[in-house]
Chains A and B, each alone.
Chain A
Amino acid sequence: MFALALKEIRFFKVKYTLIGFILFLIAALVFIVSGLARGLAFDTAVAMEEMDAERFYLETDADEQLVRSRFMLSDLEEEIDREAGWEPLLLHRIRLDLVDSDFRENVTLVPVDPDSFVYPGVVTGESIESSTDLYIVVDESLQADGVEVGDQLYNEESELQLTVVGFAENQMYSHMPLAYIAEDAFASMEIVPDSVANAILLQESDEELEARIENIISGGNWLTKDAVVQATPGYSAQQSSLMMMIAFLIIIAVFVLASFFYIITIQKINQFGVLKAIGAKNSFLVGATVLQVFSLAVISIGVAIAFTVFVQMNLPPGMPFVFDLSLLFVYSGILLTVSLLGALLSSVKIVKVDPQQAMGRAE
């Protein structure tokens, strides 16, 4: 059965290469669009996606958006010790310039307790520690802009100089790199009034603690991390439009493949009749057809994956593109299933072929 399927593909190379090529193009487009979707999602919200916190307490009228929510923390700090498990999260946007360079970038300063779950740690360089030294750990994307460990970044308005001591990975939020700084150091900069936060975070949900915090600071509600990520400005809009593109591509794949195989099947009706007349069973003929589609799909999708890797390696560095292998496998699985369903549609036709078709007909 497999031998028959492959011999036919080999004999009608052009025809099957054409179908394979179309499937390859569709698959490659699906993969690249999904890579872009991941890339945009990455720049928009990866820092929150990766945040080691399950519960976010935000102001009720902040529309679930982190930057629109703001709390005074003094009451809470008096009533419940941070040891109980809560951490404040403050995102403070400032502009930083690199000394002796034309690098300037808006970053989001995040004051943290370096021992708490809010702080992600570093992948290169040194971690920050609780002190008033103006040291920061920034997202590694700044490395691409020429920032190195030990560089001084200064803020013109406040005339403060911050020293980069290390880099963290996956710390982008709203298309800005995050810069983690020790709370004490941030307080010493005196750029915001004491004890404000955009949100209060819990590492894990804890109904009792949540209720206690709500009692002290009213006017907020508890959200999941996912809700906060989804509400990041631009996130849902980007993702839903790109997902729609992917869905359309898959629907196109269904129709293109199903009609292609249907036409091929119609062309081969006489041949199926002959094969049935010499004793081929439906299961054999359908099996051979499905195997053909399967091998074509596996090859085309495989080449499309390789092509996506190639594209990713050759993209300009600023391009938001994330190669997510597990997501790629999900889409590959969908495309494969869709191809096989398209082939099964033709199978109905194959089953209906009358072996008498072989009588008195020219090939």
Chain B
Amino acid sequence: MTNQAPLELANITKRYKDGDQYIEVIKDLSFHVHKGEFVAVIGPSGSGKSTFLSIAGALLSPDEGKVLVNGEDIATYPDKAKADVRLRTIGYIFQSANLVPYLRAKDQLKLVSEMAGKWSKTNEKRVKDLLNGVGLSSRNNHFPHQLSGGEKQRVAIARAFMNEPDIILADEPTANLDGDRSTEIVELIAKEVKDKEKAAVMVTHDENLLKYCDRIYRLADGQLTLEK
């Protein structure tokens, strides 16, 4: 069991209602990611990448199949338990930073720690280190509206790392950023994955970023196929 994949999807199907018929966006999809592995998912727009990642991130329930997080099937968990999985086991990075507008950078991180009931003085240092790590040591006390797009995204990444999740999911984390910022952001994620042995999945459109990933999948027709 030591080598168990932190995240495993087994025979997932997801349908959306379109008028009076259903469209299968994900069809009998199986997938897993190991510790210390950084996986990329690419595919055309509308192919279901966000849908796939939402299911993996406990934001959306599949119609069929299992979502195993550290061996536990969370697909059938009640909302409250899913929220807990999102809080403690999954760090989700969205396309836009999705920061809380009225919290300073350091408080964004403090919030997730508090919600997990893990807040203590020692975490004060962890907040500092994380913000240092994403190159924002001088921006601790800034509100989101005082940060640039790239800075906001870096705060979001630090927030995703705050509760030491086993799994990191990123849905086009660099879509709003220029090339250099994008590289920085993905390097940050890749470094965390290698240093801390996390399992990470990133959806992206940017070919330049694929070099940081260990495996690359293409999503088409509701199925994942390995590219590299």
Contact = CB atoms under 8 A, between A and B. Distances in A.
Interface of A: 1, 3-4, 7-8, 10-12, 271, 274-282, 284, 355-356, 358-363
A11 B86 contact: no
B94 interface: yes
Given A11-B101, A356-B60, A359-B59, A278 B80 contact: no
A355 B96 contact: no
Contacts of B111: 4
6 contacts: A8-B102, A11-B102, A271-B100, A277-B92, A280-B115, A356-B59
Contacts of B50: 359-360
A358 B102 contact: no
A50 B209 CA distance: 86
Interface string B39-80: 000000000001000100001100000000000000000011
A279 B96 contact: no
B150 interface: no
A190 B103 CA distance: 83
B168 interface: no
Q: B115, B143, B144 — which one has the most chain A CB atoms within 10 A of its CB?
A: B115
A358 B98 contact: yes
A102 B172 CA distance: 90
Interface of B: 50, 54, 59-60, 79-80, 83-88, 92, 94-103, 107, 111-112, 114-116, 143-144, 159, 163, 171-172
B86 to A, nearest CB: 4
Given A360-B94, A363-B98, A279 B107 contact: no
A275 B171 contact: no
A156 to B, nearest CB: 74
Contacts of B172: 360
Contacts of A356: 54, 59-60
Given A360-B50, A361-B96, A11 B80 contact: no
A362 B112 CA distance: 20
A279 B77 CA distance: 14
Contacts of B100: 271, 274-275
A363 B50 CA distance: 18
